[in-house]
Chains A and B, each alone.
Chain A
Amino acid sequence: MSNVVEINNLTHYYGERLIFENLSFNIREGSIFGLLGKNGTGKTTTINILNGFLKPKSGKCLMFGEDSYTLSPATKARVGFLIEGHVQYSFMNIKQIEKYYAAFYPKWKKEAYYELMSKLAVTEHQKLSKMSCGQRSQVALGLILAQDPDLLILDDFSMGLDAGYRRLFIDYLTEYAKAEGKTIFITSHIIQDLENFLDDCIVLDYRSVLLTMPVKEFLATFKQFKFDVADPLSQFPKDNVVKNVEKVKNRVSIYTFSNLDEIEHYLNARGITFSALQQVPMSLEDAFIGLTGKY
């Protein structure tokens, strides 16, 4: 299986401020790839570079084998792009905007768009600027689905959407992804929506990559252990074992890729007196926060 996107040693600064250094990852054809990270870790920067709206300071970013900064029109036609906040031409109405985009894409699927529109309580001549945020997101989604791209890039699709619309969005995307060879690249700050949706993920921290692996593997290997310590002043510095730690008085949570035995061994080796050690099951969101920390 080939890679739709290949990012190699990408480094970018805004002025003197480093955003990330040597970022590398690939997106497999047919996979659903999540770019996760807290605000300000460079998610939108990455998306902009991927879409050719930012020239990185160094490194390579290939999309369908072409440099993403100089994509050919033919390749652009294969990429659907949802801008953060579902930005679209708000001065157009439902019908105008469909006609507008239809002129550019030979594979245009009008039905896909109108099917989605029929579910909204809007008229054909309603301007986008007179719609709710949720309705606008559906218009943006409908346009992308009608474009029938091979690669879908969604920048924070959940922004401003209530639970219902978020669910609706994911449902449509899941349906779309079932087709042959469709790849989705998605960023979101609401992780819980993505739990059963993503195949692979990359987790960004400020200036560095925390993790790149399939979501299933991440959920299977990343664990949370809770225990009580006798001495509330015990320190747990981050290292190979301890990826993150939370402490409330005597109660300690450790996030780690190690298993129960290794943790016991680790604590003993450090001479820490502990009790009630147990593994706590985690959702993707829990795991994400466990890995990146709450702050």
Chain B
Amino acid sequence: MIKALVMKEWLKVRWVFIGLVVLHGAALLVTYYDLLNTFKIYKANEVIIQFITFEVVFYSKVKYVSLLTGLGIGIFQFFPELNQSRLKLTLHLPVKENKLIFQMAATGAALLIVLSVFDVCILSLITLKFLPREFFDSMVTTTLPWYLGSLCSYFWVMIVFIEPGWVKRILMAIVGIGIVSLFFEGGGYAMYAPSLLYIGVLTFLSGAIIFLSAFNFKRGIW
């Protein structure tokens, strides 16, 4: 049963997922070659002192790709459900509705986590190849908000798409944009270090709001 549900979600997003894998790959490849070239052109110690002094986020492409990933998976997964209220088909299945909604969200979230882990792994290899371990530590702390932001943006796309009324949908989209923007502020290293826990909680709580949208969908517009 879970397999069937996962398969359905996968069929919807597989092309965009493959596209995103390519995009992530390309972004990481460009990051790698940029760094490689920088180290070819300039002295290694000069590069490092510049990085330290100006907190150069040489992997900043991952930031935008992460946001795009959350939105992309969300839109491709839930546009078909919103279109002609196909979500009714899913909710009519002989499974508890909350479980179905959770299952859908979990599938998308799992794909996002896979891509984020992929990013972290490749970035770790790139960072550790050229730079001292301190850069790796700060890379993880710097990029974590982006991965959380990716997840959070995905949740908000889901909330907006499942919400049945247009007025409410627009209002939720505005709230969603406001909340998701909080994850992509700042431009230095590890700027979210003191607030990682809070934005983690915010992501988790955003995930819970999905059930309210689903509830509204089921209750219908009054």
Contacts and interface: CB of A to CB of B under 8 A. Distances in A.
Interface of A: 13-15, 48, 51-55, 57, 69, 73-74, 76-77, 79, 81, 83, 85, 87-92, 96, 99-105
18 contacts: A13-B222, A14-B221, A73-B93, A76-B92, A76-B94, A81-B88, A87-B84, A87-B85, A87-B88, A88-B86, A88-B89, A89-B8, A91-B11, A91-B80, A96-B11, A99-B4, A100-B7, A104-B93
B3 interface: yes
Give the top 9 A-B pairs by smallest Cβ distance, nearest first.
Answer: A54-B220, A103-B4, A77-B94, A73-B94, A76-B94, A55-B219, A87-B84, A100-B4, A103-B1
Contacts of A105: 94
Nearest to B218: A53
Q: Which of A48, A69, A81, A89 has the most chain B CB within a 10 Å cutoff?
A: A89
Given A15-B222, A53-B220, A104-B4, A91 B12 contact: yes
Nearest to A57: B222
Main secondary structure of the interface of B (DSSP, over half): helix
A83 B85 contact: yes
B179 interface: no
Contacts of B222: 13-15, 55, 57
B40 interface: no
A73 B92 CA distance: 9
Main secondary structure of the interface of A (DSSP, over half): loop
B146 to A, nearest CB: 29
Interface in B173-222: 217-222
A76 B93 contact: yes
Nearest to B96: A73
B95 interface: yes
Nearest to A15: B222
A104 B85 contact: no
Contacts of B220: 48, 53-55
Q: Which of B12, B80, B88, B94 has the most chain A CB within a 10 Å cutoff?
A: B94
Contacts of B35: none
Nearest to B14: A91
Contacts of B86: 87-89
B84 A83 contact: yes
